[in-house]
Structure 1
Amino acid sequence: MARAGYLTKGVVYVLIGVLAILAVTGAGSGAGEIGGPETAVRTIGEQPFGQVLLTIVGIGLFAYAAWRLVQAIMDPERAAFDGAKGVAKRIGWGVSGVLHAALGVAALQMAFEGRTPREGGSQSWVSEVLSWSAGPVLVVIAGAAVILFALYEIYRAWTIDFTRHLKITQMTPTERRWSIRAGRIGLFARGVVFVIVGAGIVEAGLNARPGEAQGVGGALRDIAQQPYGAILLIVVAIGLVAYGVFQAVESRYRRIPTRA
């Protein structure tokens, strides 16, 4: 399930990056193609045999969600040590599991009910939390946590610490070289995107405006609106494609314990 999940996540990220590149270069159907995982899922459903593809993707996303929840509860890789860092990792894995399960639900709903997944999930939960008495503080904390996660992804790209989870010795020299390149470029690009996502959530909490919160798609559209935005977006999109490729590498070469 873990390997199927990594591969499915990789397909989604490759598609996010490809759609953004096509939109910027004019080869796609316009700016509406710039989006996050929900846009990728919707695009899959619009292809020939879309129902079958969505079902496969939905199952794969559930598999990844299950693996993340196993990591959060049992830590089979012994990666979350005692202390605040270990707790943070477990919480992050759990949140990742819930988010990917929700995306899996959206894929299956589109496959069997024709319900089109839409972006805006960040705004929905931020709006709900802001209605609480301590809501603004909680939203700011959540945004700060996203930024810290993003910086950790960039740190992993810089230090290449992600290789400790891979069966490096089973790779050919060429596979090893390109896997490390894909991991570094992909993690860095994803970190940049999530810094923007986290900053938007923090602003939403500080200003009590849910509309300032955004997901991956919103972050990519923000990049496109900057000076030289088209070039910046293409660079980041290529990075997200690299991240998707790295997820496929993890699907094949990650060390996954056979028991907890």
Structure 2
Amino acid sequence: MHTTGSDAGASAKRAAAEAGNSRIVGILISLGLISFGLVHLAVTWLALQLAWGHSSAKPNQQGAIAELSHTPVGPVLLWILAIGFFTLVVWRLTLAVRGFAWMRGRKRTAKRWGSVGHAVVYGFLGVICLRFALGSGSSGSSGRGVTGRLINNTAGQILLLAVAAAVFGIGVHQVVKGIRTTFRDELQDRGGPVLVTFGQIGYIAKGIAVMIIGVMIAWATVSHHPGKAGGLDVAFRTIKDQPFGPVLLTALAVGIGCFGLYCFGWARRHRTS
């Protein structure tokens, strides 16, 4: 009887420890998702500045993190963001290995591969935060240099067109995800109407922006003009240069901001497995 009681006590302690660890992990994941939301809101702010006359604004992830670093709590905030993003990397890689057990077949496989992609994005953002926190910042010119070298040979052009197609496909997936609200699968209670609306608008806006990036990469490749390729900032500047550009850019920026707000709700309702 004494042995049985000891075993039961040990089991209870292990269960309590696991529950405590689970809560800590959940808090860190929430911190990461809030960090993701903050970056999207900062991108929104910079895009709105670009839309209405501040041509020096750089509305992409690097510019957003630089903007956050200039706030009064910037140095501390950068470290918090980095911890949050690297936590998300570990979380997403864990999901890629053994997550989404509540799904079956190809849908689960797609979700697990998608988690690998998310981990890459979060890792990229974490590295940018770390570099700014350490005072080295980050250079945005190397990407165009690589694009320029690839454009100068046939194999490189094929690779760039393949990348453009993949990026465009990711954008289409984001739009479909927003329209069909499949993002609700990753919410504990599938979310309320306000949160779902923010998610729909946000995913559709992000998808449109990513699709434009894909088109710009393809255009740069076909026209042999590497300067036309780029990330969010190039996409936003392209939109601004169109008829009614400031209005269109404002609408897209608001959509990106909606995704940032969605991330705050996601942080409260995320599924950890």
Structure-1-length-normalised TM-score:
0.83
Q: Choose which of 155, 174, 186 in structure 2 pairs with 1:165.
A: 186
Q: Are residues 1:111 and 2:133 paired?
A: yes
Partners of 1:213 and 1:24 lie apart in 2 by 20
Q: Name the counterpart of 2:25.
A: none
Partners of 2:95 and 2:153 lie apart in 1 by 31
Report the 3-state secondary structure (helix = DSSP H, G, I; strand = E; otherwise coil) of the residue aligned with 1:107: helix
For 1:194-205, list aligned pairs within 5 A. Answer: 194-205=210-221
Partners of 2:111 and 2:188 lie apart in 1 by 22
Q: Which of the pair has more CA radius of gyration?
A: 2
AA aligned to 2:136 is R
Q: Are residues 1:142 and 2:168 paired?
A: no
Q: Name the counterpart of 2:266.
A: 250
For 1:232-247, list aligned pairs within 5 A. Answer: 232-247=248-263
Q: Name the counterpart of 2:74.
A: 50
TM-aligned CA distance change 1:78 to 1:148, over 3 Å: farther
Q: How many residue pairs align between the two structures?
A: 246
What is the Cα-based RMSD across aligned positions, in Å? 2.6
Given that residues 100 and 111 in structure 2 are in contact (C-alpha distance below 8 angstroms), is that contact kept between their aligned partners in structure 1?
A: no
Q: Which has the higher contact order (CA 8 A, sep 6+)?
A: 1
Structure-2-length-normalised TM-score:
0.79
Q: Name the counterpart of 1:220.
A: 236
Given that residues 78 and 132 in structure 2 are in contact (C-alpha distance below 8 angstroms), is that contact kept between their aligned partners in structure 1?
A: yes
* Same amino acid, percent of matched pairs: 27
TM-aligned CA distance change 1:208 to 1:24, over 3 Å: closer
Which digits, 9 at most, give the CA deviation of each residue in 1:206-253, with x for residues without a partner? 344432221012111111111111111111111000001111221111
Partners of 1:92 and 1:131 lie apart in 2 by 32
Structure 1 unaligned runs (5+)?
A: none
AA aligned to 2:100 is E
Given that residues 187 and 243 in structure 1 are in contact (C-alpha distance below 8 angstroms), is that contact kept between their aligned partners in structure 2?
A: yes
Structure 2 unaligned runs (5+)?
A: 1-27
Partners of 2:98 and 2:231 lie apart in 1 by 27
Given that residues 34 and 221 in structure 1 are in contact (C-alpha distance below 8 angstroms), is that contact kept between their aligned partners in structure 2?
A: no
Q: Name the counterpart of 2:118.
A: 96
Partners of 2:115 and 2:228 lie apart in 1 by 25
Partners of 1:105 and 1:24 lie apart in 2 by 28
